[in-house]
Structure 1
Amino acid sequence: MDKLILINLQDYINEHIKMQLNCFNLSKKSDELGYPGFTHFFQVQAQDEFLHQRRIMNYLLDRGQNYKINSIEVNTPELKNIEDILNVEIILQILQMNLQIMQKIKWTLQQLNFMNYYN
């Protein structure tokens, strides 16, 4: 497999791990503040991020490739209330991170014809 593709897929896994951890942090804080609906919402989002990671990991393993999970740094903003959690800036940061991941990986997925892997 092309080295650039492997690097991009590794980055994809790492970025989804960051997103998963961010969602778990938001879920935990929502629970602490007494918002079970938001707690559940962010837990579901975290699970979705894990599924994305797992698909790429399985794809690599099915092709005899390997991946490595390095130490992951997550920026954890101070959240005092539900308004902080739902702050547009925080949500936009998460969405922007997701967009950056998708833009970076788009070429790689096209090269791999990845979507046919799951059809």
Structure 2
Amino acid sequence: MLEQHLVRLTAVHVADGRYAGATSVSLESGEIGGWLAPDYRRQGLGAELFRAAVQLGHRHLGLKAVRAGAEPRNVASRGALATAGLTPAPGPAKFTLGDGREIDSCWYQHRQEATSRCRG
């Protein structure tokens, strides 16, 4: 597997100080990944994390396009991506996860021509 340089954002629940989830953006591919802890699901936090990843990609990393894959049956993930403004896009029908498992996938993207890149 190709090692990618990722920029990660971690969400910490303010009230209890626990990790609620995280998202990442690949500097090479613009692919977004993420997870949400079970106790924090069904609260709109997935969409919030994906919106943050989109902004990170466009406004800080200078990426014109960011992409994310989801399992076709994962309605919550697909809904969070759509709520965050990503739209269906072409992509591979299969995707290999970091742990080596291969899953069916559908793809989403967000494009923005006006981008910026932070120093560093």
Same fold (TM over 0.5): no
TM-score by length of 1: 0.26
Higher helix share: 1
Higher strand share: 2
